[in-house]
Each structure stands twice: as structure tokens, then as C-alpha cells.
Amino acid sequence: MKLQAVFVAALVVACSAQRSGSSERDAPILKQEQEVNFDGSYRSSYETGNGIAAQEQGVLKNAGGGEAEAEEVQGSFQYTAPDGTPISLQYLANENGFQPQGAHLPVAPTPPPIPPAIARALAYIAAHPPPPEPQQGTRRF
């Protein structure tokens, strides 16, 4: 999960680095806050003079729980794209992966409806499951 947080931070830096002009590269940091706690939780945020802002917070869930232990990070960032479009992205990263949300992200198309014949076949299969397979080494007479 920390890798995902680093990825998002790198994405913001890369997007801001693509902007041209020395004033963009020399944008002052207007606000920066960081807090790291002994339990593994943290908060971080910054804002620059050219309109870039980011905030993130993370917490270790099920600490000491072995396989159930997971880092959960949530945050957001915003900046203006080179074409002037305002970009705002919110994200959650946890044991279910990286889950971004933003108006600029593409949306998957709605899948077509299931044809009636296939729907009937699926209903029939669900209502009439196959008999269990005999165990290996046993004979059926």
C-alpha cells in the first residue's frame, strides 16, 4: 500500500513537472503538514503557489494480525492540467487495491443485457445442478 501512495505522489510530481515555465517549476510551498504516529498512522498535506494540493492519511488495520494486517491509505490531490482542465482525484488504497475516483477518469461502458436464451439456460443450470462425481477409487454399479 505504501507503494501505491508513492505512485500517487510520483504522479502528482510528474504532472506538475510537465507544466512549462520557470514560475511553475519555482512555485512556492504555501502550506505543508506532516504527522507520523507511533501506531503507524500518519497524515500529510501540502499546497503550492501554482494550485497543486495533496492530502493523504494512512492507518495500519489489524496490527499484528498476520495475514489480516493491512495498510489503508486515503487521500486526494488536485492540479490544473496543461490544457487548463482542473483535475481532482480522490483515492482509497487498502487490501482491495487502489481505488481512484475523479470526473476526468474514463468510465467503463454498461455491458449489454444477457440474451433471453442464455438467461433461460443459466436459470435451468442453477435449478438442475449436475450429480456429484464419484470419489476416486470407488465404483458405481
Spell out the domain ranges in the chain. 29-101
Distance of alpha carbon 39 from alpha carbon 45, whole angstroms: 19
> With 60 as the cut, is the pLDDT of residue 16 above it?
no
Reported as a single tens digit per residue, the pLDDT across 27-46 is 899 999 999 998 889 999 99
Residues in the chain: 141
pTM, entire model: 0.58
DSSP H or E run through 141: none
> With 70 as the cut, is the pLDDT of residue 132 above it?
yes
Distance of alpha carbon 48 from alpha carbon 2, whole angstroms: 23
Strands in 70-80's sheet, in edge-to-edge order, are 29-36, 42-48, 53-61, 70-80, 86-94, 97-101
